[in-house]
Chains A and B, each alone.
Chain A
């Protein structure tokens, strides 16, 4: 009865997840900075410039460093203002730039507790040194499981300037695949050559098909962006870094929440810690 399984596999493969465009609304933005009022105003101004794509109807609220002292207070402020987006930077009230092994305790908590998305801009000092990210002309969405994620692609599309490039990317971890293939090569019931050929093909096919569906869905929704489909096997961090640098990406959009854990989602955590010079929109 192996034929039953074969045909079920064919039909399952043919059953694809189609992208459904979600309307994203960002009308109120809360800018949080750990500097004084002037520094915070400057930071807010650079955020406004960077997020010009949101339009002029957006209400911008500003919280300076003196307005909060502790994570509880910051969370209360966020709850009080209930913004659609929190715009901030890493290492709030911390002098940890020399030891950049996290986002800082404020952001670590904020990204997981808050239901609102958080835009993490490069540190204000880096911006003042002359950040190259002036707009959102090239936006890259990153996830370890793209298929079926309507929200991520919709948000990324919403943040991309009209006529800009929307990079929808999926890097499948080569090391994990190699590990599975090594195990498969030790199981006599599974044909190793077939697995070696079919497994990577199928792993890449699903996100590839979904991204194509995103392209079609966004076109139908009238979103004028150029969708670029990147689905590869490789090393998460190394390949994303290469893509970001080579294509001069302006903004990364990532999922950070994981229902199964309190900590930030695995791939997102390593990317947010390692990629410190690029704005990140954390969902």
Chain B
């Protein structure tokens, strides 16, 4: 199990209750501001950044942050040993002469004893950030951005469109499957942008713009299903999966059956509810086929050598990510390194203009994560997460049980879904991962999966529940289609209810 960065296991007895309440209020304020992001007309990074500044100032003022020196270059003692000298753990540096033991019985706390090393000066908020997660997001987005310039993704998307023959129902199934696969391989926001844009263009070409709302809504919902397929498909997966030590392949094998079934059910429901049907006459079929035949999949490809390079690199990227945990050397460097390395290699094609890609990086997203990790770090030291953890413990039967209790799994999944539907699912995932980790939930517990499924599927309840549904709504509004917050909830409710019910049954039957 990987400890959450900056995880606080030191005693919180010295934190006064009033301070904890104050920071608890700040956390509620943050959640509310994120929920009202659209109304505030402020980007996530700025909202969370402001809260991070306030939290750091207050926490320093109250003296609850550990301003000890950071030790690097040390190595841990892995067996009982008797060493004279000075040792360091994450928080403290003290002289010792004692037997040291790694880990406790629950295996929840890596209390390894470190020896040697040297002190470096590092601001307190730097170790608060999970740089592994940041590396994955930065590397993956860079890799996907550069690879998309090869025309590979648009080539695939147009090939799929042409293969459908322009038949609306076939198009829905093809686009649905493509959304799920792109969400899994790339990320759900990029998938929604690619498939959503193509949907708007192709339905306009086919003179079927009246189906656009249904298509985009279904695709938006499917991004969150596809986001469940792999460890790197969505940020909650990365955060929770990393915290629980779930490997890429384990994640894929356990999540794939649900993703397949849920995709089929969602598409079937979508076709029925939005009355998306097959073309009936030969004349209609011929006309539609002629219209989609006008799409030229080669149009966006500037260089075939770069196209094939992109295709090969994408395959290698997926294979390397999938096998990172078993690859020698690479396993030590972890997935973040793999993502960054592949991103850098792709940039070789644009070596004189890489700055353009740096400008295109989603700094809002990265800033949001970094600020969020800092806020959670402060909340942890202020005892807020302890209070929430105690609350969760009081509601749930036993967080350490394996298999997890059915009621615990169900409550956590549905609760996570409801919570992530009204605010961003990333802080929820980060908080719950930290709390479960701190409370000693075993790595093979189904509760981790409850959070993963709940945090992802909660995005399908409201348009603000996930970034990809927000992208879907943006495309809908771009094409002057009327869709309010309430209408979205009303339209998405049947899908979300079925998906969450299916997820609960799946977790109880197979993942508990």
Contacts and interface: CB of A to CB of B under 8 A. Distances in A.
A16 B474 contact: no
B471 A4 contact: yes
14 contacts: A1-B474, A4-B196, A7-B193, A8-B201, A10-B154, A10-B300, A11-B197, A11-B295, A13-B299, A14-B300, A15-B202, A15-B205, A15-B294, A16-B296
A16 B299 contact: yes
Contacts of A11: 154, 157-158, 197-198, 201-202, 295
A3 interface: yes
A16 to B, nearest CB: 5
Interface of A: 1, 3-4, 7-8, 10-18, 20, 209
Interface string B441-483: 0000000000000000000000000000001001100100000
Contact of A15 (B196, B295, B471): B295
B301 to A, nearest CB: 10
Contact of B197 (A7, A16, A17): A7
B296 A14 contact: yes
A64 B345 CA distance: 78
Given A14-B297, A14-B300, A7 B198 contact: yes
Contact of B474 (A4, A7, A14, A209): A4
Nearest to B198: A11
Contacts of A1: 471, 474, 478
Interface residues of B, number: 25
Contacts of B157: 11
Contacts of B297: 14
A17 B292 CA distance: 10
Nearest to A7: B197
Interface in B290-323: 290, 293-297, 299-300
Interface in B423-445: none
B296 to A, nearest CB: 5
Given A15-B201, A18-B290, A4 B478 contact: yes
Interface string B140-165: 00000000000000100110000000
B154 A7 contact: yes
A18 B201 contact: no
A8 B294 CA distance: 16
A8 B295 contact: no
Nearest to B292: A15
Given A1-B478, A7-B154, 17 more contacts: A1-B474, A4-B196, A8-B200, A8-B201, A10-B197, A11-B157, A11-B202, A11-B295, A12-B201, A14-B295, A14-B297, A14-B300, A15-B205, A15-B294, A15-B296, A16-B296, A18-B290
B256 to A, nearest CB: 27
